[in-house]
Amino acid sequence: MYKGILHTHTLVVTLFLFIYVIKTILLLSGKNDLLTVFSKKTRVFEMIVSTLFLVTGIYLTMKLPFGGKFDYLFYIKVIMVLASIPIAVVGFKRSNKILAALSLLLITGSYGIAEVYAKRKGAPKESNTLIAANDGKALYENNCVLCHGADGKNGASGALNLSATTLDIPSIATVILNGRNTMNKVDMSAEQADAVAHYVTEHLKGH
């Protein structure tokens, strides 16, 4: 479910940007007749795409691993997306080039922030080099709780339930060190990953 929504979101955001870029280029180059035709032809499609954009965006936001606190980058992203909408509406209605360009700038900027954000989310609270290589619990709390939760059942960002995992210790360590699908790899030593895998197996798996 989470992965499907994430892929849908990426797809509709890309389509949305694509339509937007074309419209802005047409407006900026003064091809107003072409812009009218293009806008008319893509109107229904654009409505579907923007609705999906918002709905999937809201769903993914609810699944973000924040541990209760929002990150300022996230706020900037949401403000940029929300601000770009009325600016675009007014810009295109009045054929105002500056507003149209500004709105495109905001929406592409927020796309960039989303990319940075995806990389940062799930980053460890502190550097793992400060944590003993055999302290599986501390390493789990520093790196995994955000998504998987203290009991392994949290499921933020589509994280799998670790109490129900069927993976053995070496396979868990492999997921940690290499990442898998939507889970980014976690930056820690092989010894530390082994300690976390033991912690997951002994304290969360089957509990």
Nearer to ligand HEC, 26 or 172 (CB): 172
The residues in 92-131 that bind ligand HEC, with binding defined as CB under 6 A, are 121-122
Minimum Å distance from CB 157 to ligand HEC?
4
Using alpha carbons, list the distances in angstroms from residue 137 to 4, 25, 86, 178.
Answer: 32, 54, 48, 20
Which of 118, 115, 6 has the alpha carbon at shortest distance from 57?
A: 6
Is 174 a binding residue for ligand HEC by CB under 6 A? The answer is no
Nearer to ligand HEC, 106 or 186 (CB): 186
Q: Which stretch binds ligand HEC (CB under 6 A): 17-25, 33-41, 105-113, 168-176?
A: 168-176
**Residue choice 43, 94, 125, 180 for contact with ligand HEC (CB under 6 A):** 180
Paired with 180 in beta bridges are: 183
Minimum Å distance from CB 1 to ligand HEC?
11
- Residue 79: other Cβ atoms inside 10 A: 12
Asked if 138 contacts 120 with a C-beta cutoff of 8 angstroms, the reply is no
Is 195 a binding residue for ligand HEC by CB under 6 A? The answer is no
Residue count at the site for ligand HEC (CB under 6 A)?
Answer: 25
- Both structure tokens of 178: 């290499």
- Residues 163-198 as b/e (b if ≥16 CB within 10 A, e otherwise) read bebebebeebbbbbbeeeeebbebebeeebbbbbbb
Largest Cα–Cα distance of the chain, in whole Å? Answer: 68
Binding mask 138-167 for ligand HEC (x = CB under 6 A): -----xx-xxx--------xxxx-x--x-x
The residues in 52-91 that bind ligand HEC, with binding defined as CB under 6 A, are 65
Minimum Å distance from CB 187 to ligand HEC?
10
Using alpha carbons, list the distances in angstroms from residue 127 to 131, 188, 195.
Answer: 8, 9, 16
Is 196 a binding residue for ligand HEC by CB under 6 A? The answer is yes
- Residue 32: other Cβ atoms inside 10 A: 11
Question: Site residues (CB under 6 A) for ligand HEC?
Answer: 65, 121-122, 143-144, 146-148, 157-160, 162, 165, 167, 172, 175-176, 180-183, 186, 196, 200
